[in-house]
């Protein structure tokens, strides 16, 4: 069993839909990172969470430390949101992270 599990593995949505990607972890952590990997392969950091909720534009990330669970929400999804979304659990420094396998999101126009 992976220490960090994401669901779903694949997700197809229509433009405008509300998207939720889930991440559960079994390791002890001080932070949970959400990353986005573009179709070209580049990886960018979206959020780092230690508690509560963060919002950036149409993206919202939440974490429940007691339940060891985090969610990434995308409101009013757009085809440009199509990418692989990856959660990673570990330290706030980001130096030792355990990654989920990623969720492939496709948003159709």
Footprint of another protein (CB under 8 A): 2, 4, 31, 33, 35, 41-45, 48, 86, 88, 92-102
Shortest separation between residue 15's beta carbon and another protein, angstroms: 28
Looking at beta carbons only, is 54 or 73 nearer to another protein?
54
Using alpha carbons, list the distances in angstroms from residue 43 to 1, 27, 52, 60, 65: 25, 23, 24, 18, 25
Phi, psi of 79 (to 5 degrees): -55, -30
In the complex, least distance from residue 102 CB atom to another protein, rounded to whole angstroms: 6
If the CB atoms of residues 17 and 48 are measured against another protein, the closer one turns out to be 48
Which residue shows structure tokens 């405008």? 16
Q: Smallest gap, in angstroms, from Cβ of residue 80 to another protein?
A: 19
| 3 state DSSP class of 93 | coil
């Amino acid at each position: 069993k992976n220490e960090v599990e994401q669901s779903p593995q694949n997700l197809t949505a229509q433009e405008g839909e509300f998207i939720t990607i889930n991440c559960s972890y079994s390791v002890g952590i001080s932070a949970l990172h959400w990353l986005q990997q573009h179709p070209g392969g580049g990886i960018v950091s979206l959020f780092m969470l230690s508690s509560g909720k963060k919002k950036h534009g149409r993206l919202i990330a939440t974490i429940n430390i007691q339940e060891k669970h985090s969610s990434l929400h995308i409101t009013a999804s757009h085809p440009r949101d199509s990418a692989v979304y990856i959660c990673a659990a570990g330290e706030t420094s980001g130096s030792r992270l355990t990654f989920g396998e990623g969720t492939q999101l496709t948003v159709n126009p």
